[in-house]
Amino acid sequence: MHIVLGALGTIITILILVNRLSNSGVDVGWLNPFAWKRRREWANKYHVNPIYSLKNPMDITALLVLALAKSEGDISADQKKEILNIFGEVFHLDSEESTSLFTASNFLLKDGLSPIDNMRKLLAPSSESFTQEQVNSSSDLFTHIANYEGPANSFQQEVISSFDDYFATSSK
């Protein structure tokens, strides 16, 4: 009996000390394994590039269209007009929604085109959402934009071929 009372006394003393430490401003949240797991998962989601979490095929296609246009430097006024027309005609968006999609895609590409190099990671969350018709239409759009102001450069050809290869291997 005296062993049980000693163990209970020790547990109560530890709990009181932890409570006093937390009231004094010392963070004792690291002791909770469930809170630690939630914080770790949130930190992993927070530090991932948002490009890799896109799930809508329209968003992915718009992002890649803009990346192809930006691959040779800044976008010209003619390219921007053509991209907005494509968004309106192909995606059936009005001018305000087309501009919003263009702005969102441009914001996601603000850090450069390096995320586009990892096409498998980019397309993984949305690959089941793409239909074969959307894949073909997207590939045609990419070719149109790449050849809009001259022949396609090596980066543009690589992006288009990696997009086509990804869906050619995933359809098998």
The CATH number of the domain where 94 resides is what?
1.10.3680
pLDDT digits (tens, 9 = 90+) for 83-135: 999 999 999 999 999 999 999 999 998 877 776 778 888 898 888 889 999 99
Q: What residue type is 154 in one-letter code? A: S
9 found inside a domain: no
Confirm whether 150 is domain-assigned: yes
pLDDT at 172: 53
- Give residue 48's pLDDT band: very low, low, confident or very high (50, 70, 90): confident
If we measure between CA atoms, which residue out of 116, 115, 108, 105 comes closest to residue 80? 105
Range of the domain at 110: 52-171
Tokens, residue 79: 């390219």
- 160 is a domain residue: yes
Residue 34, domain member (yes or no): no
User: Does 43 reside within a domain?
Assistant: no
Burial class (CB in 10 A: 0-12, 13-18, 19+), 38: exposed
| Nearest-angstrom CA–CA distance, 78 and 136 | 24
**Distance, first Cα to last Cα, the chain:** 69
Examine the pLDDT at 30 and tell me if it is beyond 80.
no
- 46 domain residue, yes or no: no
Residue 146 lies in a domain: yes
- HSE-CB of 137 using CA atoms within 13 angstroms: 15
The verdict on residue 97 lying in a domain is yes
Number of domains composing the chain: 1
